[in-house]
Every structure is written in C-alpha cells, then in structure tokens.
Amino acid sequence: MSQTFIIQFIPLYIDAIILVLKLCFFGVLYSLVIGFFCALVRYYRVPALKRLCGAYIELSRNTPLLIQLFLLYFGLPRIGITFTSFTCAVVGLSFLGGSYMAEAFRGGFEAISKGQIEAGLSIGLSQPQLIRFVVLPQALAVSMSALAANVLFLIKETGVVSIIALSDLIAVARQLIGMYYKTNESLVLLVAGYLVLLLPLSFLFRFAERRLRFAGFGHSL
C-alpha cells in the first residue's frame, strides 16, 4: 500500500467531506422542519393536511433517493425547471429525510400521555406553550435515538449524489481507482472519510440523548 499516494490525495477527500457536510447540514435541517411539521399535523389530526402529509410520507419512504435525484436533475429540466446539482441533492435529501424524521417525531409525540396534555391545559398553557414546554422536550427525549439514526442514514445516503455530478467521497474514490488503479489506497481513504464524518456525530448524539434523559425530560408533570 502506497503511503505517498494516500498523503497526496488526502486533500481531495477533505474537499469531499466538506461537500458532504454542507449537503447534510441543509438536508438534515430541512428534514427536521418537514418532519416536525408533518408529525405535528398528524398528531393534532388536521383533516386535509393530515392526508397530504400521509401521502408524502408514503411516497418518500417508498421511492429510492437515486430515483428522486434523477427526477430532480434530469426530469425537471424537460419542463423548464432547472436546479444546480447541489440544490437537487439538498432537495432530494430533505424530501427523503423529512418522512423518516416525521415518523421519529410521531413516535415521540405518541409517547406523551393524554394526562400530561390535560394537565398542561388545566394550568392555563396555550397550545404553542403546550407544544414548547410539554410536548416538544419530551418528544425529543423519546425520539432522539431515531432522529440520530436518521441523520446518520442521510449522511450515508449522500453516496449516490455522484450520479448528478457532485464529487462526494464515493465519486472521488471511483475517480482515483479509475485513473491510478490504486484500489486499496482509495478504499482506505474512503472508509476513513466516512468514519471522520460518522463517528463524532454518533458520540455527539449519544451524549445529547443522555443529557436529555438526565435533565428529566419525559417525566410526568
């Protein structure tokens, strides 16, 4: 195994890691917003929106990200709508991730007993206050594991964005293997790149989950 080759091409993998971080920052952020909105709509059973969110979740969860990216990048330009590769990747990740986040939040909401909701209303909390001080903290504590798993899942899903001409980690590895035939070295850098991305986040989520439980979220009013 050539250490010189590995050292020489580390900067390419660093650039790819930065790209993946940017994609995941926006993708995860929008996924959380979409997921929280859908979960809230379904929890409060808003009639028309509930059906719309349910249809979105089923469509998103049952279509691969690759197909969604094909539609966004190659299909939409045929009807005059064109996005950059980066925008298509963010939209695709958000569309896919939102449905998984919605299910994670829904599990957290449903874990809250009706008694706590009634107790909050009985002491004069408005609906926004009830969501902020009673529902959301406990839902986060319950659903943190699922939310963390979804974030890690979305990071790993970025491996398909090379199909729309983005130089992610897998694209860089394939390019180097094709040009220099250094398969082992390229794969070592690929694995190291994903470990750099995923391991710190995994530890961070475990720490956050412990802190939420230690803070007492999830206990009855």
Reduced to 3 states (helix: H, G, I; strand: E, B; else coil), residue 123 is coil
Is residue 220 included in any domain, yes or no?
no
pLDDT over 60 (residue 217): no
Of 90 and 221, the structure prediction assigns the larger pLDDT to 90
pLDDT over 80 (residue 87): yes
Number of H helices, E strands in the chain: 9, 0
Residue 100 and residue 148 in contact, taking contact as beta carbons nearer than 8 Å: no
User: 10 Å Cβ neighbour count for 90?
Assistant: 22
pTM of the model: 0.85
Confidence of residue 70 (pLDDT cuts 50, 70, 90): very high
Assign residue 20 the CATH number of its domain. Answer: 1.10.3720.10
Domain span including residue 22: 3-214
Residue 94 and residue 26 in contact, taking contact as beta carbons nearer than 8 Å: yes
pLDDT over 70 (residue 76): yes
The string of pLDDT tens digits covering residues 3-53 is: 888 889 899 999 999 999 999 999 999 999 999 999 989 888 888 899 999
Q: What is the number of structural domains in the chain?
A: 1
Is residue 30 included in any domain, yes or no?
yes
